[in-house]
Amino acid sequence: MVQRDCLLSELNRALGRSRIVLLSGPRQSGKTTIARELVSLESVNYFDLENPLDFNRLSEPFTALNDLRGLVVIDEVQRSPDLFPVLRVLADRPDIPATFLILGSASGQLLRQSSESLAGRLEIQNITGFTLDEVGAEKHKQLWLRGSFPRSFLADSEEDSSAWRRNFMQTLLERDFPQWGVRVPATALGRFWRMLAHYHGQYWNAAEPARVLGVSQTTVRRHLDIMTDAFMIRQLQPWLANLAKRQVKSPKIYIRDSGLLHQLLGIETEKGALTNPKTGASWEGFVIEQVIASTWHDSVHFWASHQGAEIDLILTRGDDLFGVECKLSDAPKLTLSMKTTLDQLGLSRIAVIYPGMKRYQLYPGIEAVPVSSLEERESLFR
């Protein structure tokens, strides 16, 4: 059992200050496990909308929820969007007899629906799979290879982990998407997902995927948004600085879970991960997700110029900008691109994250940082 104390603590703080909290993240990332630590599955205050009995209990939502006291959990809330107006009414009661923790697995539509109905009443907490501070830095290779989904990471063997990921993807395509109202055939989305694995870490251009798949660019963009809304894809947007030079304005595409990326690429062993042509991009995506999960920030971006200067990740923190470079190297060295980016963007610092053990300075403001440092939250720019 992996303890997720930091996540649970953050969730409890959110529930202490907000009437409604949305815990949002991909399927099978641990949302239900966390919620059951707060409210028992057998409690009348727990509703799992994948359970037909609980779904029927909420057929008259105001009647079912009005008399409940304390913390109420509603799991897989995207299956019943009609609940949001009812939750608004219940949250506005003057005595506040109940607070609501709602769990959701589809980000885009869910956030649009909730923001329209629950403006000013809702706090959003995001959950990923396991992070290095939860599993321990000594297991970073296993976390990179298998990915962060709990059942994949904790599987008894690489074969079992791979089987779980394969079944997860099939279920998402064939069952979950249709339940969420997605009307794209599973085979078409599956082909597109496999294609995205080969674009992992690259700038996005809809023209080539559209040509290969024989569909319009509009259709390809819609497919990309579907996968993004399901937390399978990250569209990392560019940071546009006030510079005279030409800058890249297209987003970069990442498969958010490294285990799913390896599954899509046919990688099943550590040796396979280290010898695949996408090895560097895989490490980059893994580190980016771990940094985003473990480091406080207001927003995240990348930056690149057409002259070749680039930085893998920019974290905005108030008025400050912090840079992150991801290097799968035994001993990363200073590059001209790092110095250029530090000076031209006015970055406070750059952390070059690598799989080694020693923390050392490469240049004033630029430091090589072992990936193991992410085991301690907020340690990256100390």
Q: What is the mean pLDDT of residues 58-65?
A: 92
Question: What is the pLDDT confidence band of residue 112, given thresholds at 50, 70 and 90?
Answer: low
Q: What number is the average pLDDT over the span 157-161?
A: 96
**Does position 32 have pLDDT exceeding 80, yes or no?**
yes
243 pLDDT tier (thresholds 50, 70, 90): confident
Would you state the structure tokens that stand for residue 363, as one six-digit string? 């240049």
Query: Do 352 and 330 meet the contact criterion of CB atoms below 8 Å apart?
Result: no
Mean pLDDT across the chain? 92
Tell me the domain boundaries of the chain: 5-126, 132-375
Residue that has been written with the tokens 């690259």 in this structure: 202
Reading the block at residue 193, the tokens are 């997902």
Which tokens go with 204?
């996005």
Cβ atoms of 348 and 319 closer than 8 Å: no
**Cα 26 to the center of its chain, rounded Å:** 7
Q: How much is the average pLDDT of 165-170?
A: 98
On the question of pLDDT at 217 being above 70, the answer is: yes
HEC-encoded secondary structure of 25-88: CCCCCCHHHHHHHHCCCCCCCEEECCCHHHHHHCCCHHHHHHCCCEEEEEECHHHCCCHHHHHH
For tokens 């005595």, name the residue.
95
Asked whether residue 75 carries a pLDDT value surpassing 80, the answer given is yes
Strands (DSSP E) found in the chain:
20-24, 46-48, 70-75, 98-104, 122-126, 202-203, 233-236, 252-255, 299-304, 310-317, 320-326, 349-354, 360-363, 366-370
pLDDT in tens, 251-263: 999 999 999 999 9
Q: Which residues contact 341 (CB under 8 A, 6 or more apart)?
A: 303, 309, 310, 311, 323, 347, 350
Q: What is the pLDDT of residue 110?
A: 61
Assign domain 5-126 to its CATH superfamily: P-loop containing nucleotide triphosphate hydrolases (3.40.50.300)
Nearest one of 286, 294, 299, 295 to 326, comparing CA atoms: 286
Mean pLDDT across 117-127? 83
Region 173-193: mean pLDDT is 92
Query: Looking at the whole model, is its pTM more than 0.85?
Result: yes
Q: Cα–Cα distance between 154 and 143 in angstroms, integer?
A: 10
- Return the closest-CA partner of residue 22 out of 74, 65, 71: 74
Q: What is the largest CA-CA distance in the chain?
A: 65
Mean pLDDT on 95-114: 78
